[in-house]
Amino acid sequence: MTKRILLTGGLGYIGSHTYVALVAAGYDVVILDNLSNSKRSVCDRLAQITGRDTTFVQADILDEPALAQLFSDYDFDAVIHFAGLKAVGESVEKPLEYMQVNVTGLVNILQAMQAASVNALVFSSSATVYDVSNTSPLREDMQTGFTNPYGYTKLTCEQILEQAVAANPSLKTGVLRYFNPAGADVSGLIGEDPNDIPNNLMPYISRVAIGEYEFLRVWGDDYDTPDGTGVRDYIHVSDLANGHVLSLNALLDRDESHLVNLGRGRGYSVMQVLNSYSRACGRELPYQVMPRRAGDIAEMYADVERAKQVLGFTVSRDLDDMCDSSWNWITTGAKDA
Ligand code: NAD
Ligand code: UDP
């Protein structure tokens, strides 16, 4: 029988791409989102891509009665929980808001699941939970830590899940530590389009590419890396989306919890990303080297062995695919989204 999945935050960047992957894998999906960082028009885009109507409920994960109603309206087999706040800088300004939405929001979801006897949850964690003292490649059993309220909420959520599973052996969780998602669906209809000035590298470069910003500010070129600029593990958002399908399959078929990194297992420098994007958009993109950004580390990339062994996860897209698809999205779909 077709399995029904609740996708919280399903109209956002990673959620919308995961929706496409889930529908392609034969799942029936209901999206919950409060539209705080996404647009209703994504529903139509998702329908266009999948050829099926999108089931969307506008609600907030902090609204407990609305969650109870949703769980009584639909029989869910599992939940994938993306909804939350994700801007590191903003979390320093508004730590309580981050704790309420990210931590209380997760507790609300777990309680609603428990009340409805839904026992499988995939959770969006982040490589930010690794302590900065670790050396890459980062392995799941390495030391955790946090340097800002956003990281604190992600680590706290992981610990809450651990304790919830310990207390309820029927509950199975897939904790996915994302590295740096980038790129967009091949259709160009969905992608990342931050409302504010982007902090992250790829969306900032895309704005330079369309001429909205004059140049990229490269935060430091004196790191101990091959070209001196920061190295990160960029993963195509459609590969990341497939990782969620594999995680869900593992929870539903094998009834086993897991905690895995989702990355490509190799790093690219800021200059490599800029060069790849320059190739994608057909012009040399301007940049200026600035002092290092506070809190940044030289390099960070995943050990991907566990994801491969436990989930069979591999990627099929490279950095050029990420830049090509980002450019396609920003010059087509993003314009009238
Ligand atoms: P996003 O902001 O694009 O998507 C989040 C979605 O959740 C949005 O559509 C937003 O409207 C919705 N939302 C926010 N608060 C809500 C609430 N209270 N109730 C209901 N809906 C709410 O973010 P994303 O990049 O797709 O990230 C998804 C998840 O992955 C987040 O939990 C984020 O912390 C995590 N994550 C993201 C990255 C990244 O680089 N994008 C990296 C690691 C982890
Ligand atoms: N970066 C940069 N200019 C920018 C944004 C990011 O040089 O405008 C660099 C940043 O210093 C880091 C890399 O790009 O080395 C990735 O940064 P991002 O914020 O995207 O990811 P994170 O550092 O959170 O992994």
pLDDT along the chain (337 residues), means of 10: 96 98 98 96 97 98 98 98 94 96 98 98 98 97 96 98 96 98 97 86 96 97 96 98 98 93 97 98 97 92 98 97 97 82
Joined together, the tokens standing for residue 179 give 């590295």
CB of 306 closer than 6 angstroms to any ligand 2 atom: no
The whole-number pLDDT of residue 255 equals 84
Closest CA to 19 of 31, 1, 4: 31
d(C-alpha 188, C-alpha 330), whole Å = 8
Instruction: Mark whether 150 is an active-site residue.
Output: yes
CA of 15 to the centre of ligand 1 (A): 8
**Is residue 230 lining ligand 2, measured as CB closer than 6 Å?**
yes
What is the model's pLDDT at position 156? 98
| 230 C-alpha to ligand 2 centroid (Å) | 7
Question: Given this model, what pLDDT does residue 194 score?
Answer: 77
Task: State the distance from the centre of ligand 2 to the C-alpha of 255, rounded, in angstroms.
Answer: 37
pLDDT of residue 335: 78
Q: Which mutation among 128, 197, 232 tests ligand 2's pocket best, with the greatest number of atoms within 8 A of CB?
A: 232
For residue 1, what pLDDT is reported? 84
270: its two tokens: 């800021």
Nearest bound ligand to the CA of residue 98: 1
Rounded Cα–Cα distance for residues 15 and 8 (Å): 8
What's the predicted TM-score (pTM) here? Answer: 0.98
17 φ, ψ to 5°? -70, -35
| Residue 141: partners with Cβ closer than 8 Å, 6 or more residues away | none
Atom 33 (ligand 1) nearest CA: 86
Domain borders along the chain are 4-181+234-263
CA of 295 to the centre of ligand 1 (A): 22
Question: CA 26: distance to chain centroid?
Answer: 21
Give me the catalytic one of 27, 150, 234, 301: 150
Q: Going by CA atoms, what residue is nearest to atom 19 of ligand 2?
A: 200
310 close to ligand 1 (CB < 6 Angstrom): no
What strands lie across the sheet with 268-269, from one edge to the other?
268-269, 231-232, 299-300
Query: pLDDT value at position 53?
Result: 97
Task: Look up the CATH architecture of domain 4-181+234-263.
Answer: 3-Layer(aba) Sandwich (3.40)
64 CA to centre of own chain: 24
Minimum-distance ligand to the CA of 147?
Answer: 2
CA distances 171 to 113, 177, 257, 272, Å, are: 9, 19, 8, 42
